[in-house]
Amino acid sequence: MSETNTTKSKPVRGSRRTGLIWRFLKGSRGFFLLCMLCAVVSALADMVTPQIIRVAVDQVLGGASTETLSPAVRDIVAAAGGPGYLRTHLWIMAAGIMAVALVKAGSQYGFRVFNARGGETLVKTMRDTLYTHIERLPFQWHMQHHTGDIIQRCTSDIDTMKNFISEQLTNLIRILVLLGLSIAFMLGMNIPLTLIAMIPVPVIIGYSIRFHHQIWEGFQKCDENEGKLSAMVQENLTGVRVVRAFGRERYERDRFDGQNEYYTSLWVKMGYVMSRFWSTADILSGLQVMLVVVFGVVFCLRDQMTSGEYIAFLSYNGMMVWPIRMLGRMISEMSKAGVSVERIGQIMDAEEEKDDPEGLTPPLNQEICFEHVSFSYEGSASEMLHDVNLTIPAGSTLGILGGTGSGKSTMMYLLDRLYDLPASGGRITIGGVDIQRMRLSHLRSGIGIVLQEPFMFSRTLKENLMIASPGMTEEDLREASRTAHLEETIDSFSRGYETFVGERGVTLSGGQKQRAAIARMLTQKAPIMIFDDSLSAVDTETDAKIRKALEKKFGQATIILISHRMTTLSKADRVLVLDHGRVAQLGTPEELRSQPGLFREIDRIQSMTREEEVTA
């Protein structure tokens, strides 16, 4: 199966998106609440300073009556000694401004600290939740999605969500407080000038909403193509040896350059959109400030406003314009974050593979039956398997032969329930029990699989071999290595079992990786063992030794050998020949050699090849 994403995920909208964010906020909600509280204190401190300046200019220095002040402010002025006392002790006013500045500095410090704690806790929660969920998703889901795109969603999209919540949402309360109190104070000083100041506000909010959809689509394209670019890089870094071996560096570089250029062009287009967005905001904000300045001067000349009120009004107007602009920015950032939430939500909405705790746990050292099994991969019009009927006696060895795409590996995936059979696809039983009714963990722990291209983790050889049985003894580990004829190779390494094998086992040869995979599977001591063309990279002599050791040590296990090598299949009790998902032949190796068909033809070709090698 290809890793290409062949399915369209349902969009994550409305309450589902909000619920997802709330779920991710578990563990960081307290930090963000404290962060918002600090933001409110900072906003209130911003409100106080213009009032101190207003009183200093009008009542203290200008000698204006305190009757124009609000009752609360009058009480504070009276408690400080009154305008006359403050006029001779201006340091009190300065001290008040300093005290407010210290409160604001403390609240901003708390805001940053709690914001950082909350943001990093949020990121950790999202990564842990996503990784745990992805680990539980079915094998089929992984085959339908690019690894690079998944990584991009778990890194870049998570950072986008974190930035929106920590930088935008946490400021929402402060923005609302500043906006509400600024308008309230402005209305208290001069209602006509406040109405003039409010004229551009609906326009700013309206054009922000208008840009929202355009920004959303732009960010969505950018995010999706960043995923494609990440997938391309991941594939090329993983397959660097293949690229080098076939001299495809230039082709892959040109392919990357093309995708990178397209990705860059999308961000350039977004740059144009955002430039129009912010330049329009700057023009409207500038016009708003100009209107306030001009009409404020007119009102002052007409004695409809005092100098202190004018200065305070300008301060509050600046505080009002900033929140309005921030609301516009929040709308644009919401578009970007919304795309990221949707992409992460598509992963979280994927249904996990569930293991029924009430599932059956029968013994697996029983006969295996395929009863009228038919199967096709999702999105494929043709069947990979068609009406397959097969019985594998317990403790026997079955060989499977077939061309590419004949369904050999698919049969094993179905047996291990990496894919589930549809209701109309027949059934597979072990000891008469349908595997669909078995507990998944029990079934898979009893089936050992060695793939043609074994995967090695970037760990030591010992850690790779003990993945299936982490609590095994040293002697059991060495016994499995001896059976797989790997111990001699391990002893030749300077660090033995502690040898670091590198990414995907890059330091091991193909044969060494296959033998390591066999040893790893043998540590399970599973009653059912599957070798999916897993001896193709070892020589014929080593192949024979491994099969002999397996027969001697695991003679009671049911062994399934998928291979194109006749010397391997000739030792099987029976051989199944598949042709385009159908059973073409089934019998002992001797019986199939006497029948016309694929088995006899391949056996003849390989026999001639061996004779030519001996003659040469």
In a domain, 9, yes or no: no
Whether residues 480 and 610 share a domain: the answer is no
Whether residues 81 and 101 share a domain: the answer is yes
Q: CA–CA separation, 20 vs 87, rounded Å?
A: 58
Asked which of 349, 369, 389 is the last residue of a domain, the reply is 349
In a domain, 8, yes or no: no
* pLDDT score of 332: 67
CATH of residue 113's domain is 1.20.1560.10
Q: What percent of the chain lies above the pLDDT cut of 90?
A: 14
In a domain, 3, yes or no: no
- Strand 528-532 to strand 447-450: parallel, antiparallel, or no bridges (unpaired)? parallel
Whether residues 609 and 492 share a domain: the answer is no
- The confidence band for 481, taking pLDDT boundaries of 50, 70 and 90, is confident
Burial of 73 (0-12, 13-18, 19+ CB in 10 A): middle
Whether residues 87 and 217 share a domain: the answer is yes
In a domain, 543, yes or no: no
In a domain, 551, yes or no: no
Asked which of 483, 507, 525 is the last residue of a domain, the reply is 525
Contact 427, 436 (CB under 8 A): yes
Whether residues 340 and 368 share a domain: the answer is no
**pTM value?**
0.70
Q: Helix-strand-coil percent breakdown of the chain, rounded to 5? A: 65, 10, 25
What does the pLDDT average to over 476-503? 82
Whether residues 92 and 108 share a domain: the answer is yes
Q: What is the mean pLDDT of the chain?
A: 82
Q: Where are the alpha helices (DSSP H) in 380-433?
A: 408-415
Whether residues 30 and 113 share a domain: the answer is yes
Measured in degrees and rounded to the nearest 5, phi and psi for residue 434 equal: -60, 130
Classified as helix, coil or strand, 529 is: strand
Range of the domain at 588: 359-446+528-534+557-616
* pLDDT score of 556: 80
What does the pLDDT average to over 381-407? 88
| Number of separate domains in the chain | 3
- The confidence band for 292, taking pLDDT boundaries of 50, 70 and 90, is confident
Sheet architecture: strand order including 368-375: 385-392, 368-375, 427-430, 433-434
Whether residues 432 and 473 share a domain: the answer is no
In a domain, 70, yes or no: yes
Asked which of 349, 377, 396 is the last residue of a domain, the reply is 349
285: its two tokens: 């904000």
Name the CA radius of gyration of the chain, rounded. Answer: 36
In a domain, 393, yes or no: yes
CA-based nearest residue to 285, from 205, 223, 209, 344: 205
The strand ranges marked E within 393-446 are: 397-402, 427-430, 433-434
Whether residues 159 and 214 share a domain: the answer is yes
Please state whether 303 falls in left (phi above 0), alpha (psi between -120 and 50) or beta.
left
The angle formed by the CA atoms of residues 607, 609 and 610, to the nearest 5 degrees, is 65
Contact 259, 229 (CB under 8 A): yes
CATH of residue 476's domain is 3.40.50.300
- The answer to whether residue 7 scores a pLDDT higher than 50 is no
Q: CA–CA separation, 314 vs 306, rounded Å?
A: 12
Whether residues 301 and 379 share a domain: the answer is no
CA-based nearest residue to 234, from 349, 160, 153: 153
Whether residues 437 and 458 share a domain: the answer is no
Total residues found in the chain within this entry: 616
Q: What percent of the chain lies above the pLDDT cut of 70?
A: 92
What Cα–Cα distance (Å) separates residue 557 from each residue in 268, 410, 481, 553?
Answer: 62, 21, 18, 9
In a domain, 57, yes or no: yes
* pLDDT score of 493: 82
pLDDT in tens, 67-98: 767 677 777 778 877 878 878 888 888 888 89
The strand ranges marked E within 393-445 are: 397-402, 427-430, 433-434
Whether residues 194 and 212 share a domain: the answer is yes
Give the highest mean pLDDT range of 87-96, 306-315, 357-366.
Answer: 357-366
